[in-house]
Chain A
Amino acid sequence: MLLAAVDYYRPDTLAEAVEALDSTEGARPLAGGQSLISILKLRAASVDLLVDISRLEDLRAIAVADDGSVRIGAGVTYDEMAMSPDLHRSHPRLSQVAAHTVDAQVRNRGTFGGNLCHNDPINNFPPVAVALEATMHVTGKDGDRDIAAADFFTGYFTNALSSDEILTGVTLPALNGRHMGYQEIEIGEAAARAVAVVATSNGNIESASVALGCLPIPVRRPQVEEALAGTPATADAVAEATAAAGEGIEPLSDADASADYRQAMASVVAKRAVMEAIEGGQNG
């Protein structure tokens, strides 16, 4: 389908962007456009003004802090994430995920911030942010605020931002010797996904953070995490600890797979993500 008529504005500064969003009814930030434009073309949503934030300098940097944490600008593309030597050192598995997200065309335009804000259940990064306990940095008409990743996602395609607010960047805590596993089951698109961040020592799991994606709100699995802490880092122990990972989640049913299947697969991907993190010293 074709786009309906829509106004377009590309501000030079973050302040102007916020001002435009605040003062115009029906204004929406436009980042890489890889989701928003498709939705507008399907005429499934209507927007009066697109405020193009994709070239705002404030949103474009990847910066590693002294404590090893890394701040990724919301406007950084997947391709830039994949090519960043800093991110490759600090969060190698995330860099790899970015490098394999969709295809080159989408990677050249799709942004880390857009991916998180859009919160499509198929999107790669929401469960990563939750598993890593990322901090989301936001600017709006009332100034700046930070939101914990766990509080950022509010439902299908929705987030905690108000209409004048822009996600400017995301800080990922340092891994500090932990490793990240990222596993999914794809049926055309991802049908189940889990991210695990695991610390091991002497063949035992010290701590684990496990989050599930492909859900309206990516969720941590505290019971699984507790069960994992202190167990031997073996396939059997991990299988037992993650067996109930899907309990209580409510995935969607669609033409690709039913909710029941996705729920069952949640434990499979959780187990595989934890095992990947354990085995993945070389990947990170």
Chain B
Amino acid sequence: MTAPAKEQTTTTTWTGQSLPRKEDERLLKAQGSFVDDEGMYRQGYAQFVRSPYAHAKILSVDVSKAEALPGVIATLTGDEVKAMTEPLFQFAPKEDGSQVNEYLLGVDIARYQGEGVALVLAETRGIAADAADLVEVEYEPLPVVTDGVAAAEPDAYVLHDSLGDNIAWKGLFDWGDIDWALENADHILKIDKLHFHRYSSTPIECNAVIVNWDPGTDMIRVVSNNQFPMFGALVIGPSMGVGTDQFDFVSQDIGGGFGIKINSYTSIGVLALLSRKAGRPVKWIETRTEHHQSGGHGNERTFLDIEVPVMADGTMLGFKMRAFDDAGAYLHYEPLGAVIWSQVVPGPYKFKHVQVDYTETLTNKCPAVPNRGYSRMQHLWFVERVIDLVAQELELDPVEVRKLNYVQPEDYPYTTPNGCVYDSGDLPQALDMVLEMIDYEGAKKLKADREGSGKRIGIGIGTTLDSGTNNFGQSRILNPELPFSGNGEACTALLDLYGEVMLKLGTNPQGQGHETTASQVAADILGMSPETIRVWTGFDKSHSTYIGFSGTYASQFAVTGINAVIGAVEKLKAEIIEVAAYAFEVEQDQVELVNGDARIIGNPEAAIPFIGIANMVFANNATLPHEMAERVSLTCRHVYVPPFELPDVEKKYGNLTLTYSTQTHAAVVEVDEETGKVEILDYAVVDDCGKRINPMVVEGQVHGATGLGIGAALKETFEYDEDGQLLNSNFLFYHAATAMDVPNIKTSHIESPSPFTGTGAKGMGEGGGAPLHTISAAIQNAIGPGKAIVSDSHNPPERVWRMLNWDGPAEERGVTVVSNGDGA
């Protein structure tokens, strides 16, 4: 061959660039398509009739007046649903087989305010709303259980007779030797109680479904914004007695998911039943009030009787505690949360001795479902609260105590006490960076200066992890019989008839920029610009590619999705090269792909554009050897499978997630002594998610997660009264953070590539709830030692004011230090 031409090939690397998102143009020009933008011919509008009681027997449901209203098409009651379906699949029945019996609609008993007990379908939304008002439901109120800890008491009123008690799952997690640690520690820090509150990331678009059960084909077409439709199909299919092959799930743009939108599968199921009964497509757009009352809340967790063995220098040996997770009235995706926290047992620290007596309970509240930071964030908040209190109570520097206990850069890959493998990171550097960003020394000076002014300064640090690409095998820790393990994602890369490159993903993103990042990595492999690569928008089960894990959840696209893209595009590249090499009559290693052409290396003149390759395969196949023409399809599917093994369910030990992003946050806050109001003066984030495929997309996720976390820390909470009535059922009473509440966020990054993902990238979208840790720490710092402790993740003005004004006896502070040798 001739000497290389002077023209350079593939000079551009698209991966790693902050390319503007492909999605933004349509979204910013209001050209996106959300469920409510869609419709089906002859659709009716559904309205749920919902229980006003948190707990009540349903004595009767009379739909006759509703059905008599002009414009009403059909109704559906719990009794009808019970007759046509089976109870929903439960992850972890008790050993004797007892379990929660949940149907797709409330049957016999309503167990939370807002639970659907009947449905009406009408020609318009207005008529449906009027008709729902005409459905007469006779209730007999029952005792209400709203406290997730009290629910576990033997005398608690039992929600589900079929379960026998209110305990959804219970287990002891015991790693290392906590008794040894408690005996040998210099000090034991005892904390009475810490509480992580209930809130939601409240997607701006509520749940929405259009479903048509086609009487001719028996196919069930579901246009929805559910973010994990495969999971939904696996759960509702058997309940409804239909095959998963009957479901066609479709979604285009989704207005935020955050995990909450995994939960709409029960609505999808029951609306499908209504469609079948009515013989009409059914449209349902959830209202904000419905969303708050029944759309799903994040997990609320209470930590009790915490004991923390610590050495004099601040080295933490571990902890022991009891945890109670409040799952609400039904188990939607739960009790997976009972094990998912154990992906991050020691948080970012090296301690080895941990014992957690864990109980998940059922209460008369909205079901808890995954919410950004799912289950790990609660635990990580706990760990950060503990390390911060260790520093305060032992009069140590919170920075030094963290650095002392951090997993160090040279420790990676680091195996945690329960066998998880932290892949990479540099926490001490991240902490130094973030402290510099908030001018730590300046902030300390400001704090001193402001003393006595009525405004106190608090400085807080929050280190957190975002574990991504989970090993579904961890579900076997809940129930060894469960047939789930591993993880993965699919992609199909293809040339279309005129040689256009197209990718089909298994995911259905809600703003994560998958179209952009997928095209970036594909562009690098194919030697062309991302602009020329079409990533099929949205998901449609009838033509998209998928496996059982497909969906957009749990911080994993950068690993599972992107590796599926890489695998599929590599296969496509190989086929293109094979066809081209045949045409050029050269060896395959003599062919390269440049700007949409297959060329002989070093000879730009000898080029076949992709259209020519496509032509040979799709429309001119007599030019190819018959064997090749039948084998090469230019339609290449790849399933990425992360390298996981089954965990040891006895020891609750194994690698539960593939990657661990670290996030280090710091805040300077000002606390108004008179009112307890907290204002954020400065906020900084250092994110380390390994190799960033598109830094701007990462930045967007950092901002989003930080904003939601700040909202949760200071403003957002779901509160129930003792009757189980939700006090925040709309945005008048649920104070979602707005642009006014989120300060300018300073961001920076480290890139510690993951050795386990091929690309070095890690999942990072959920964000690990760091603002909750950080703001709790900052408020604690403002209040200072010897006073009340920050024991709740949510700190509205009154709570802070009460801590500032607390003057009880020292033993009621909620924290004590016992020193071994003092006769502990």
**Cα distance, A79 to B129, chains bound together (Å):** 34
B674 touches A268 (CB 8 A): yes
A256 touches B675 (CB 8 A): no
Q: Is A2 an interface residue (CB 8 A)?
A: yes
**Cα distance, A271 to B728, chains bound together (Å):** 31
**Cα distance, A268 to B675, chains bound together (Å):** 8
A257 touches B129 (CB 8 A): no
A43 touches B133 (CB 8 A): yes
B732 touches A189 (CB 8 A): yes
**Cα distance, A50 to B449, chains bound together (Å):** 59
Q: Is B586 an interface residue (CB 8 A)?
A: no
Q: Is B715 an interface residue (CB 8 A)?
A: yes
**Cα distance, A191 to B796, chains bound together (Å):** 12
With most chain A CB atoms within 10 A of its CB, the pick from B126, B675, B728 is B675
Q: Is A45 an interface residue (CB 8 A)?
A: no
B677 touches A185 (CB 8 A): yes
Q: Which A residues form the contact surface with B (CB < 8 A)?
A: 1-5, 42-43, 185, 187-189, 191, 254-258, 261, 264-265, 268
| Contact string against A for B residues 297-329, beta-carbon threshold 8 Å, 1 for contact and 0 otherwise | 000000000000000000000000000000000
Q: Which B residues form the contact surface with A (CB < 8 A)?
A: 125-126, 129-130, 133, 287, 289, 674-675, 677, 715, 717, 719, 727-728, 732-733, 735, 796-798, 801-802
Give min CB distance, A120 to chain B, whole Å. Answer: 10
30 A-B contact pairs sorted by A residue (CB < 8 Å):
A1-B129, A1-B287, A1-B289, A2-B125, A2-B126, A3-B126, A4-B130, A4-B133, A5-B126, A187-B735, A187-B796, A188-B715, A188-B735, A191-B797, A254-B733, A255-B719, A255-B727, A255-B728, A255-B733, A256-B733, A256-B735, A256-B796, A257-B796, A257-B797, A257-B798, A261-B797, A261-B801, A261-B802, A264-B801, A268-B675
* A261-B733 CB under 8 A given contacts A4-B129, A255-B717: no
**Cα distance, A91 to B176, chains bound together (Å):** 71
Chain A residue contacts of B719, Cβ below 8 A: 255
- The residue in chain A whose Cβ has the minimal distance to the Cβ of B732 is A189
**Cα distance, A257 to B733, chains bound together (Å):** 11
Chain B residue contacts of A3, Cβ below 8 A: 126
- The residue in chain A whose Cβ has the minimal distance to the Cβ of B715 is A188
- The residue in chain B whose Cβ has the minimal distance to the Cβ of A42 is B289
Give min CB distance, A167 to chain B, whole Å. Answer: 24
B129 touches A188 (CB 8 A): no
Chain B residue contacts of A2, Cβ below 8 A: 125-126, 129
- The residue in chain A whose Cβ has the minimal distance to the Cβ of B798 is A261
**Cα distance, A255 to B292, chains bound together (Å):** 14
Give min CB distance, B791 to chain A, whole Å. Answer: 18
With most chain A CB atoms within 10 A of its CB, the pick from B289, B674, B719 is B674
Chain A residue contacts of B715, Cβ below 8 A: 188
B733 touches A185 (CB 8 A): no
Give min CB distance, A44 to chain B, whole Å. Answer: 11
Give min CB distance, B765 to chain A, whole Å. Answer: 27
- The residue in chain B whose Cβ has the minimal distance to the Cβ of A258 is B798
**Cα distance, A228 to B349, chains bound together (Å):** 57
**Cα distance, A130 to B719, chains bound together (Å):** 34
Chain B residue contacts of A42, Cβ below 8 A: 289
Contacts A187-B797, A188-B735, A257-B798 aside, 18 further interface pairs with beta carbons under 8 A come to: A1-B129, A1-B287, A1-B289, A2-B129, A3-B126, A4-B130, A185-B677, A187-B798, A188-B733, A189-B732, A255-B728, A255-B733, A257-B797, A261-B797, A261-B801, A264-B801, A265-B675, A268-B674
Chain B residue contacts of A191, Cβ below 8 A: 797
Chain B residue contacts of A257, Cβ below 8 A: 796-798
Give min CB distance, B192 to chain A, whole Å. Answer: 22
Give min CB distance, B27 to chain A, whole Å. Answer: 23
- The residue in chain A whose Cβ has the minimal distance to the Cβ of B674 is A268
Give min CB distance, A46 to chain B, whole Å. Answer: 10
Chain B residue contacts of A265, Cβ below 8 A: 675
Task: Give the 3 A-B residue pairs with the shortest CB-CB distance, closest first.
Answer: A188-B735, A255-B727, A255-B719
* A185-B797 CB under 8 A given contacts A2-B125, A255-B733: yes
Give min CB distance, A191 to chain B, whole Å. Answer: 8
- The residue in chain A whose Cβ has the minimal distance to the Cβ of B45 is A2
